[in-house]
């Protein structure tokens, strides 16, 4: 067995152990879940050190026949992009488990099921990023929805059942469109190669006529745009984020939604280069709309007197951030690509920090309204400062990790599309607004009645958030290790696109 398989199996075994635990052993369940996820994270980091950074192509490759009748293989492998996304998931899972220690206690089902579902989800995430067989990718892509569905519907708040169903139906719909495209690719591969295949490398060698390519591209792209989410396919996200527990939201927005942008790079660009170039400008427009749309809605949440919801605000900021990521992907320069990939990682960490801290604020204050958090700076200084740092990372303050990625995306985009890059830059100003307004209203200012006796972060909470904050600051100053891993993969994608002219910007 290969290391990726083991990495994926470990959480699954852990979750099986959790489900077998007797009723009432909640503490033990939490400890087992945390232990398993830490072991997996360490194993994953260990694996990353043996990753050859200078090589292109997939590493840690593994391939077994699964359904030979259809040419389906169990094929895994990672390049720089997928490796980092897997690491993101592996690091964030123990953080979420530790940070959300008590989150599951008000749920419909038992605590052990909550952590069991999280571990299953971890397995699916490893699988979806590591799959190099499109069929296998699709299976993980769809199967992944089930644990999230139960996490939102079973442990969330408010309109949780409706939000869970909306999430599931949107994703299934996108997935089915993708299935049609996958079938199309499979049939074409059967006509052009000796045997039909789902292998992503072999499929990228096909020559597909332009009309078919456009149709197939759209099938994939819509599925990924729903997942990412890109305007106008985003409407499920705010509901899901509002209903889900903060821990679920971290995994959903921080990691799972990256499958969308990852899929655009891995499948849309490499399988349908012509169609990608053709649709590129349209998608750039959609990205810009997303940037502003997300920002405006976030500002609206932040400024609305009374019922501005902090979870909704964070989810809208994510729509804006995903706009930047897709902008970088479809600008087709090396810098914008590296920036977009880096953005995925950084967004994962800064959103995780925002959601987790917001979750602690909510659980202490028993309210999600931004206006209820006044004066936290004085009552709970550590929590307030950490929220501030996370917010600054979200608005891409220089010195924090998101700055590097946003800068790279915009510079890279400018080389090819100057005007969209300039418009995108204006989006940063709105980013400052949507972060600073809630920071000002929630953290500073007079203490809202009812906040006087809130307690600051406990040791467990501090320890659990520490790695995230450390990552945000460290990679803000020194992003080179990440870029070293990303760059070869990014240039490999672009060279497959055969884009000539402005390689690497000016």
Partner 1 sequence: MNAPNIEYGILGPILIVLAAALIGVLIEAFVSRRYRYILQTGTAFAAVALAFLQLVLIRQTSSKAAVSSMSIDGVTIVLQGSVLIFGFLGLLLIAERGFQSFTAQAAAIPGSNEEQKALVSGLQQTEVFPLTLFAISGAMLFPAANDLLTLFVSLEVLSLPLYLMAGLSQRRRLLSQEAALKYFLLGAFSSAFFLFGSAFIYGQAGSTTFDGIRKSIVESGGSDQFLLVGLALLTVGLLFKVSAAPFHAWTPDVYQGSPTPVTAFMAAVTKVAAFGAAIRIYYFAVGGLVWSWRPILIAISIVTMAIGTVIAIAQKDIKRVLAYSAIAHSGFLLTGIIALSKDGLNATLIYLFTYGFTTIGTFAIVTLVRDSGGEVSDLNRWAGLGKRSPLVAGTFTLFLLGLAGIPLTSGFVGKFAIFTAAYKSGNISVVVAGVLASAIAAFFYIRIIVMMYFSDPVEDGTSVVIPSAMTVATIAICAVATLVMGIYPQPVISAINSLAFFAG
Question: Which residues make up the interface to partner 1 (CB under 8 A)?
Answer: 66-70, 108, 138-139, 142-143, 146, 150, 153-154, 160-161, 164-165, 168-169, 172-173, 176-177, 179-180, 183-184, 186-187, 190
What's the rounded Cα separation, in Å, for the pair 96 and 356? 8
CA pair distance 370, 303, nearest whole angstrom: 9
Q: Are 134 and 182 in contact (CB under 8 A)?
A: yes
CB of 243 to partner 1, least distance (A): 11
Q: How far is CA 303 from CA 43, 137, 357, 365, 440, in A?
A: 44, 41, 20, 20, 11
**Spatial distance between the Cα atoms of 489 and 494, rounded to a whole number of angstroms:** 9
Q: Which is nearer to partner 1, 38 or 146 (CB)?
A: 146
Residues composing the chain:
506
Q: What is the spatial distance between Cα 399 and Cα 18, in angstroms, rounded to a whole number?
A: 41
Beta carbon of residue 155, minimum distance to partner 1 (angstroms, whole number) = 11
* Closest CB to partner 1 among residues 55, 187: 187
Give whichever of 150 and 403 is closer to partner 1, judged by the CB atom.
150
Give whichever of 116 and 438 is closer to partner 1, judged by the CB atom. 116
CA distance 391 to 98: 21
Question: Which CB sits closer to partner 1, 169 or 426?
Answer: 169
Residue 198 or 475: the one with the smaller Cβ distance to partner 1 is: 198
Q: In the structure encoding, which two tokens stand for residue 65, read together?
A: 């026949």
Residue 75 CA to its chain's centroid (Å): 23
The residue (of 59 and 213) whose beta carbon lies closer to partner 1 is 213
- Smallest distance, Å, CB 190 to partner 1? 7
Q: How far is the CB of 477 from partner 1 (least distance, A)?
A: 43
Measured distance CA(160)–CA(150) in Å, rounded: 10
Least distance in Å: CB of 161 to partner 1? 4
Contacts of 470 (CB under 8 A, 6+ apart): none
Q: Which is nearer to partner 1, 190 or 381 (CB)?
A: 190
Q: C-beta of 212: minimal distance to partner 1 in Å?
A: 9
Buried b (16+ CB within 10 A) or exposed e, 160-181: beebbbbbbebbbebbebbbeb
DSSP 162-196: HHHHHHHHHHHHHHHHHHHHHHHHHHHHHHHSSS-
Q: What is the DSSP string of 71-111?
A: TEEEEEEE-HHHHHHHHHHHHHHHHHHHHTTTGGGGSSS-H
CB nearer partner 1, residue 223 or residue 390: 223
| In the block, residue with structure tokens 């964030």 | 92
Rounded distance, CA 439 to CA 376, Å? 10
Residue closer to partner 1 (CB basis): 165 or 473: 165
Q: What is the 3-state secondary structure (H, E, C) of 146-166?
A: HHHHHHHHHHCCCCHHHHHHH
Min separation Cβ 414 and partner 1, Å: 39
Instruction: Kindly state the smallest distance separating residue 259's Cβ from partner 1, in Å.
Output: 15
């Amino acid at each position: 067995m290969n290391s990726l398989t083991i990495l994926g199996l470990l959480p699954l075994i852990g979750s099986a152990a959790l489900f077998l635990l007797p009723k009432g052993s909640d503490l033990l369940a939490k400890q087992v879940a945390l232990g398993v996820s830490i072991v997996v994270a360490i194993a994953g980091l260990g694996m990353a050190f043996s990753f050859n950074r200078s090589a292109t192509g997939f590493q840690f490759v593994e391939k077994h026949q699964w359904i030979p009748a259809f040419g389906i293989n169990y094929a895994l492998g990672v390049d720089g992009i997928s490796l980092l996304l897997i690491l993101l998931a592996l690091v964030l899972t123990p953080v979420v488990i530790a940070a959300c220690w008590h989150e599951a206690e008000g749920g419909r089902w038992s605590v052990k099921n909550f952590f069991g579902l999280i571990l299953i989800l971890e397995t699916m995430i490893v699988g979806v990023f590591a799959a190099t067989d499109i069929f296998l990718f699709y299976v993980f892509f769809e199967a992944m929805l089930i644990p999230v569905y139960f996490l939102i519907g079973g442990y969330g708040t408010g309109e949780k059942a409706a939000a869970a169903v909306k999430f599931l139906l949107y994703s299934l719909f996108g997935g089915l469109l993708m299935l049609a495209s996958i079938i199309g690719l499979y049939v074409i591969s059967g006509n052009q190669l000796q045997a039909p295949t789902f292998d992503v490398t072999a499929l990228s060698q096909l020559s597909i006529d332009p009309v078919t390519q456009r149709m197939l591209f759209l099938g994939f792209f819509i599925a990924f745009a729903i997942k990412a989410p890109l305007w106008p396919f985003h409407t499920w996200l705010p509901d899901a984020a509002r209903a889900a527990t903060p821990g679920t939201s971290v995994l959903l927005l921080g990691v799972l939604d990256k499958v969308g942008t990852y899929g655009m790079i891995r499948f849309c660009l490499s399988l349908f280069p012509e169609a990608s170039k053709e649709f590129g400008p349209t998608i750039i427009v959609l990205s810009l709309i997303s940037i502003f749309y997300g920002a405006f809605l976030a500002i609206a949440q932040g400024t609305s007197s009374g019922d501005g919801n902090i979870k909704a605000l964070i989810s809208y900021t994510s729509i804006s951030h995903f706009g930047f990521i897709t902008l970088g992907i479809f600008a087709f320069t090396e810098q914008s690509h590296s920036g977009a990939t880096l953005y995925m990682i950084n967004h994962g960490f800064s959103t995780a920090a925002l959601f987790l801290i917001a979750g602690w604020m909510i659980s202490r204050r028993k309210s999600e309204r931004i206006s209820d958090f006044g004066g936290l700076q004085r009552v709970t200084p550590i929590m307030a400062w950490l929220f501030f740092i996370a917010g600054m990372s979200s608005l891409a303050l220089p010195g924090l990790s998101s700055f590097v990625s946003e800068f790279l995306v915009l510079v890279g985009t400018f080389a090819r599309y100057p005007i969209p890059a300039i418009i995108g830059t204006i989006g940063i100003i709105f980013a400052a607004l949507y972060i600073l307004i809630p920071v000002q209203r929630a953290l500073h200012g007079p203490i809202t009645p009812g906040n006087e006796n809130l307690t600051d972060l406990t040791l467990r909470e501090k320890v659990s958030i520490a790695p995230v904050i450390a990552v945000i600051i460290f990679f803000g100053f020194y992003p080179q290790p990440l870029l070293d891993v990303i760059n070869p993969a990014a240039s490999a994608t672009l060279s497959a696109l055969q884009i000539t002219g402005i390689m690497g910007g000016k």
